[in-house]
Amino acid sequence: MIDIHCHILPALDDGAGNMSDAIEMAQLAVSSGIKGIIATPHCNIPGSFRNYWSLSLEDDVRALKQELEKRNIELSIYHGQEVFLAAGFLEMLHQGKLITLNDSRYMLVEFDMNERADVAYRKLQQILAEGCIPIVAHPERYGFVNEQSEAVYRMKDLGALLQINRGSIKGAFGRRVMKKSMEILSSYQADFIATDAHSQFSRTPQLADVHEFISEEISTDYGDVLVNVNPRKVLNDEKIYSF
């Protein structure tokens, strides 16, 4: 399995606080059958985490890889960002400050929880017009997705992809989000499940339990597509598999 959304890089955002936290997260991931993690620090959040692409961000990725190698922890780390689609994000994209997942065509994006639906759709269209395919992080958590039943289909019709959080399925964000995540999954509109892990204690980097759950509750093939097949297609910059 490959985790395409994880805040494992130390001391950059509200994820791993330091290198030893990151190592513990990596060990947990490996014990859950995860072979690779795309490190996706929060990026472009106004007044908060910026984490624009820079050589120092690359150094942070390299430092984690070296620590894992030193400890013989068999986990591949790739670079990425979780890009907050604040006003003005296009300018940041044009300036080369935003990166895709492992230099693929796929960009992990998030909205303000109270984003307006029409604004969200317009931002997704703007990214697509730049030749990137947006992967919407945790759609099940946004207000507009919960309030408008057509929102999931609108985003998919535009060409966006959807990534459900492991925690949402397990009820970590409340009943409404749990229900919405299962609705998206059981209608086969989700393209990925990822951990969105922030620490080794809560919101942890594990996928085996949700993989098993989806395999049993919906379909074995779909479970594999969500945590293994499609994440690997992102790593290889290939067209993802639609169920």
Judged by the rule CB under 5 A, the positions of this chain that interact with Fe ion are 82, 196
Two tokens, residue 17: 């606080």
User: Judged by CB, which is closer to Fe ion: 3, or 196?
Assistant: 196
Rounded Cα distance between 85 and 96, Å, is 15
Integer-rounded Cα radius of gyration of the chain: 17
User: Judged by CB, which is closer to Fe ion: 3, or 185?
Assistant: 3
Q: What is the dihedral of CA 124, 100, 209, 198, to 10 degrees?
A: -100
Name the helix (H) or strand (E) containing 56. Answer: helix 55-70
By beta-carbon distance, which residue lies closest to Fe ion? Answer: 196
Name the minimum Å distance from CB 103 to Fe ion: 20
List for the chain the helix, strand, coil content (%; round to 5).
45, 15, 40
Name the minimum Å distance from CB 69 to Fe ion: 26
Name the minimum Å distance from CB 196 to Fe ion: 4
Name the minimum Å distance from CB 82 to Fe ion: 5
User: Judged by CB, which is closer to Fe ion: 60, or 82?
Assistant: 82
Query: Which amino acid is present at 110?
Result: E
